[in-house]
């Protein structure tokens, strides 16, 4: 199976429409149809149900969509890491969510910097879900992930930290005076919905909360009394403009450092090794 065939298949499987998929791929529809037929013939497997004029995935097709995406990401990762290895032999790219784990990150980088022959670490602070994607497709060599929001499946990782979560509320809100809250207190608060973050594909799920793409925007919305949110304790607060109340039954959030399996990079190994000596910060509420 060639990666070209995989790309074609994935486009059709996601669009469930040969014409639209062909547009995305910047090609005409007939060769795309033929390529898929040929792929089905070569695999000896029906990937689509073309009953009438609507296209649906078969069971086998769903499997190939899943596995194929992972495989394509692995190929892209191989390309990117190869190119980076040639361009800057002693540099590693670390991806982390902007705004999260600042203290952890600086400690980690400081510890690593003093190891002999430390490589230059290019720190990429990116949006929600991006660190995981960057690690998967080779744009990053190491990433700080937040569990349970990110999914470290397929990577090696070690935990750096674990913390509770707090509610961010507008100052003066009735709940803001409480010493602690539960998640149920915050569900369906009249006039204070929790915002919706983008899905991996950039779209938003249906719902009534405001849509939010970055953290500062979230804090602004809360300040304006239009939303509330549950965030890890260590998230930055931008001053004292919001009320902070612990949420006792929210998931614990773990920060892990993750890297691709089998990474033979000495630099990555040493960075991870120095991460082991980073103290497990228990973020306090009185910062």
Query: What is the contact surface with a copy of itself in residues (CB under 8 A)?
Result: 1-4, 6, 43-47, 58-64, 66-68, 70-71, 74-75, 77-79, 81-83, 85-86, 89, 138, 151, 153-156, 260-262, 264
Say whether residue 266 binds DNA (CB under 7 A): no
Say how far apart CA 67 and CA 152 lie, in whole Å.
16
Contact 129, 95 (CB under 8 A): no
Among 6, 36, 167, 186, interactor with DNA by CB under 7 A = 36
How many residues contact DNA, by CB under 7 A? 22
**Residue 51 binds: one of a copy of itself, DNA, none (C-beta under 5 to 8 A by kind):** DNA
Say how far apart CA 97 and CA 156 lie, in whole Å.
18
Least Å from the CB of residue 13 to a copy of itself: 11
**Residue 33 binds: one of a copy of itself, DNA, none (C-beta under 5 to 8 A by kind):** DNA
Least Å from the CB of residue 29 to DNA: 6
**Residue 6 binds: one of a copy of itself, DNA, none (C-beta under 5 to 8 A by kind):** a copy of itself
Least Å from the CB of residue 40 to DNA: 9
> 93-114: string of b/e by CB count within 10 Å (b at 16+)?
bbbbbbbbbeebbebbbebbee
Among 1, 3, 37, 280, interactor with DNA by CB under 7 A = 37
- DSSP E strands in the chain: the ranges are 48-51, 54-57, 91-97, 120-126, 142-147, 156-163, 165-170, 229-232, 242-247, 253-259
Say how far apart CA 251 and CA 231 lie, in whole Å.
10
Length of the chain: 287
Say how far apart CA 29 and CA 35 lie, in whole Å.
10
Say how far apart CA 15 and CA 141 lie, in whole Å.
31
**Residue 189 binds: one of DNA, a copy of itself, none (C-beta under 5 to 8 A by kind):** none
Say whether residue 29 binds DNA (CB under 7 A): yes
Least Å from the CB of residue 99 to DNA: 42
Residues found near DNA in the complex (CB under 7 A): 4, 17-19, 26-31, 33-38, 50-55
């Amino acid at each position: 199976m060639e990666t070209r065939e995989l790309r074609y298949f994935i486009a059709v499987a996601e669009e469930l429409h040969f014409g639209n998929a062909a547009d995305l791929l910047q090609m005409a529809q007939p060769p795309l149809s033929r390529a898929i037929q040929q792929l089905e013939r070569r695999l000896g497997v029906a990937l689509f149900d073309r009953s009438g004029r609507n296209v649906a995935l078969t069971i086998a097709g769903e499997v190939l969509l899943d596995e194929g995406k992972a495989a394509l990401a692995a190929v892209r990762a191989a390309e990117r890491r190869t190119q980076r290895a040639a361009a800057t032999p002693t540099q590693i790219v670390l991806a982390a969510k902007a705004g999260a784990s600042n203290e952890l990150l600086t400690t980690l980088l400081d510890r690593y910097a003093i190891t002999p022959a430390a490589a230059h670490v290019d720190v990429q602070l990116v949006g929600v879900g991006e660190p995981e994607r960057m690690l998967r497709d080779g744009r990053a060599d190491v990433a700080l992930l937040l569990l349970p929001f990110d999914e470290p499946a397929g990577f090696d990782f070690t935990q750096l930290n674990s913390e509770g979560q707090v509610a961010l509320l507008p100052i003066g809100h009735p709940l803001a005076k409480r010493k602690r809250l539960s998640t149920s207190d915050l569900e369906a608060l009249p006039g204070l919905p929790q915002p919706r973050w983008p899905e991996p594909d950039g779209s938003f799920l249906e719902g009534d909360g405001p849509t939010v793409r970055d953290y500062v925007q979230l804090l602004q919305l809360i300040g304006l009394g239009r939303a509330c949110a549950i965030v890890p304790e260590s998230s930055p607060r931008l001053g004292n403009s919001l009320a902070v109340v612990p949420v006792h039954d929210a998931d614990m959030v773990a920060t892990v450092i993750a890297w691709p399996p089998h990474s033979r990079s000495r630099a990555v190994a040493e960075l991870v090794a120095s991460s082991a000596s980073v103290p497990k910060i228990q973020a306090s509420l009185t910062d």
